[in-house]
Amino acid sequence: MMFWKNKKIQEILFDLFDMISFLVFVGGIVLFVRFFVANPYTVVGASMATTFEENDFIIVDKITPRFGELKRGDVIVFVPPGKTVPYIKRIIGLPGETVKIHDNKVTICSIQDNQESCFDLDQSYLDDNVWTDTRCGISNFKVTSWFFVMGDNRSFSTDSRCCFGLDCYNWASYEVPFDHIIGKVYLRLFPNFGTF
């Protein structure tokens, strides 16, 4: 009984309880943010160079894909069907469109008023020396439900053009399903500002 009546010990126990409560509260906030709001990633590989370089540290917004709208040109982090590792790529084709790749051009086509309407994609975000070519012998991709994606460093990108390296002829998908998207790249920390 004397142990609990000692004021110094009571103060230490209350301080310890306050500190543990604070750490649990902060830990809960960090876990909530990490699982539901934003997630940090490090870029691996050269598929998005020079927009994102190897070892760039990025923050991925997990809210926009759930409550907002993803659009052409957005850079997303996702896990391709049949894979387990996250990829980073740019959205090129949207549901209901056909992506056509020919002569270093990407053409987007859709049906409007029972007629095909097409336009060449503005790829001003690419370096001048980047060449957009076909992969796996396929040049036309009908995007039915989800998203068609490509890396900015087209010659070194494993992307929708060849079903993420899984061979499109064996029923692998070139589309990124919505539920495979982790989030939209929101921020790059410590970037080379000359390339962003």
- H or E element, residue 188: strand 181-189
Catalytic position from the list 47, 157, 160, 173: 47
Task: Say whether 89 is catalytic.
Answer: yes
At residue 39, what is the residue type?
A: N
Per the DSSP assignment, residues forming a β-bridge with 87 are 78
| CB 178, CB 68: distance < 8 Å | no
Look at residues 40, 32, 46 and name the one whose alpha carbon lies nearest to residue 187: 40
Strand 75-78 with 87-93, pairing: antiparallel
DSSP structural state of residue 114? T
Distance between start and end Cα atoms, the chain? 66
Q: Give the pair of three-digit tokens for residue 15.
A: 């301080």
Catalytic position from the list 5, 8, 83, 89: 89
Task: Say whether 47 is catalytic.
Answer: yes
| CB 70, CB 91: distance < 8 Å | yes
Active site residues: 47, 89
